[in-house]
Amino acid sequence: MKNKLAVIGILLAMVSVSCNTQTYLPDHEELDVSYFGSFIKIRNTTGSIITGELIAVDSNGVIVLTNTDGSRQAVTVQKEEIEKYKVIYAKAKNYAWTIPLYAALTASHGMWLTPVNLLVTTAITASAITQFQYNRREMAYGNLYMFARFPQGLPPNIDILSLK
């Protein structure tokens, strides 16, 4: 009985691995037609975390359009204040449904391969979640502009908060 409960608990934990991405991120097939900036998560040197749409990048810092508690703000983070960042540029494929399905199919033919199946489907799901993102180790600050809404820099006289 304890083994069955453990297997059920593991299955539930693995299903909850799915990634919750922003709605404005394009599907991977629509990357070339999206006019939004990528989602960025920045941890600055004080430890605070800024998340939102990457609007513009220059040699001094980045501009992020945040939506915290229903209030939109344009936040500028200076380059020297950035400790870590992660850019998500498209919605990840969600393979979490395969974990319980394939485990159940394997279990129906005998329990001896179920742990192997759980490991494989969990590994595939975990790698798919990180497929469309970069972090500071994988992409230099100088390349962040490619994922901004305005890659050539912020146009003059634009009201960031009026962007849709």
Whether residues 142 and 72 share a domain: the answer is yes
pLDDT recorded at residue 19: 44
Q: Which amino acid is at 90?
A: A
Whether residues 106 and 87 share a domain: the answer is no
* Domain assignment present for 2: no
* Domain assignment present for 15: no
Handedness of CA 95, 86, 143, 157 (dihedral sign): positive
Residue 108 structural domain:
93-129
Average pLDDT for 33-50: 85
Query: Residue 75 above 60 pLDDT?
Result: yes
pLDDT recorded at residue 18: 43
Query: Residue 42 above 90 pLDDT?
Result: yes
CA distance 139 to 135: 6
Alpha carbon 129 to chain centroid, angstroms: 7
Whether residues 40 and 102 share a domain: the answer is no
pLDDT, one tens digit per residue, over 106-163 is 776 667 777 777 777 777 777 666 667 788 888 888 888 888 888 888 888 888 777 7
On whether the CB atoms of residues 61 and 78 are closer than 8 A, the answer is yes
CA distance 91 to 27: 5
Whether residues 112 and 72 share a domain: the answer is no
* Domain assignment present for 78: yes
CA distance 39 to 147: 9
Whether residues 33 and 64 share a domain: the answer is yes
Residue with the bigger pLDDT between 127 and 86: it is 86
Whether residues 44 and 79 share a domain: the answer is yes
Whether residues 68 and 49 share a domain: the answer is yes
Q: Could you tell me the pLDDT band of residue 27, with boundaries at 50, 70 and 90?
A: low
Which H helix or E strand runs over 138?
none
pLDDT recorded at residue 36: 80
Q: Is the pTM of this model over 0.75?
A: no
Write down the mean pLDDT value for the chain: 77
Whether residues 103 and 88 share a domain: the answer is no
Whether residues 74 and 60 share a domain: the answer is yes
Query: Residue 38 above 70 pLDDT?
Result: yes
Cβ-Cβ contacts under 8 Å for 24 (sequence gap 6 or more): 36, 39, 53
Whether residues 34 and 108 share a domain: the answer is no
Whether residues 110 and 29 share a domain: the answer is no
The percentage of residues in the chain with a pLDDT greater than 90, rounded to a whole number, is 18
Which H helix or E strand runs over 124?
helix 114-129
Average pLDDT for 20-35: 58
Whether residues 84 and 97 share a domain: the answer is no
Burial of 25 (0-12, 13-18, 19+ CB in 10 A): buried
**Total number of domains constituting the chain:** 2
Q: Could you tell me the pLDDT band of residue 25, with boundaries at 50, 70 and 90?
A: low
Question: What CATH number did the domain enclosing 25 receive?
Answer: 2.30.30.180
